[in-house]
Amino acid sequence: MKHSYFISDLHLSETKPELTALFINFIQNIEPETERVYILGDLFDFWVGDDEHSPLIIKIKNLLKSLHDKGVQCYFQHGNRDFLIGERFSRETGVELLPEYKLINLYGKDILLCHGDSLCIDDTAYQKFRNKVNNKWLQRIFLCLPLKLRIKIAEKIRSKSNQDKQKKSVKIMDVNKTFTIQKMKEFNVDLLIHGHTHRENIHKEEGMTRIVLGDWRKEHASILELREDSLIHFKK
C-alpha cells in the first residue's frame, strides 16, 4: 500500500555514528510503495553552510540523492539546528526545501507541517535568539566567515544551548497550546505534524489532531507513517 513517512530531530553528527547508522538503515530499506519522505528539521546537529564537506555530510547527501533516484520525493523543513541548509544542498540531493509553515494535501488529508520551535512562544529567551539567527543579513555575514571559524561558533552556541536547557522548566520548552490551535485555524486544518520538542505523541485537542515527532536515539527511530487508507501511526 502506498504510504509516506515523516521524521525529524535526528541531530546527526560525527560523534553519534549510531544515529547515522539508523538513518542509513531506514533509507536503504525503504519500501517500494513509499512515495514521500518529509524531514521536519534538525536532520543535523548543526549546519554552518552548504560548503562544508565532512565525511558525514557527504555520506548523507549521497544517501538522500539515492532516495531521489529511486523516485521517492523528499522534502525538508529547516530546524533550529540546520536552518542554514540552502539551495546548493537541495540541488545536490534532490531534496525540496519547504517554508517555515507548509500546508500539504496527502491521501485526501490537509496537513500543516512545521519544525515546531516557532510554536514554543512561552520560551521568550529562545524566541529572541531565534529572531536574531534568522536575520538574513546576519546569516550572510556568518556565511562569509572561514569554515573553521563557523564550526567553532556553532559548537559554542550548541554547548550554551544545552546548558540553558538545564535551567529552563519543561513547560516553557513545549508548544503553547492556545497559539498552536490558533495557527491550525489560520491554515484551516485539523491535523498538524511537527517536531522540535522531542515528545513523541498524538494529541487530540478541540477536535484537532497534533502529532509530535520524537527525536532519534540509540536503537530508536521515531518514524511516523501515513498510508493512503488514512491510517497514521508511529512505526515500531
211 phi/psi in degrees, rounded to 5: -105, 125
Question: 3-234 belongs to which homologous superfamily?
Answer: Metallo-dependent phosphatases (3.60.21.10)
In this prediction, residue 151 carries a pLDDT of 95
| Tens-place pLDDT, residues 202-219 | 999 889 999 999 999 988
Q: Please indicate, yes or no, whether the overall pTM of this predicted structure exceeds 0.75.
A: yes
Annotated binding residue 220? no
Q: How many helices and strands in the chain, by DSSP H and E?
A: 7, 11
Q: pLDDT class for 158, splitting at 50, 70, 90?
A: confident
Annotated ligand binding at 123? The verdict is yes
Annotated binding residue 80: yes
Q: What is the pLDDT of residues 172-208, one digit of tens each?
A: 899 999 999 999 999 999 999 999 999 999 999 889 9
Burial class (CB in 10 A: 0-12, 13-18, 19+), 204: exposed
Q: What nine digits make up the cell of 147? A: 569554515
Predicted local distance difference test score (pLDDT) of residue 168: 74
**In this predicted model, what pLDDT tens digit does every residue of 91-134 receive, in sequence order?**
999 999 999 999 999 999 999 999 999 999 999 999 999 999 99
Please check if 161 is assigned to a binding site: yes
Amino acid 66: pLDDT: 96
Q: Is 9 annotated as a binding residue?
A: yes
Looking at the DSSP bridge assignments, the partners of residue 212 are 194, 201
**How far apart are alpha carbons 225 and 37 in whole angstroms?**
9
Length of the chain: 236
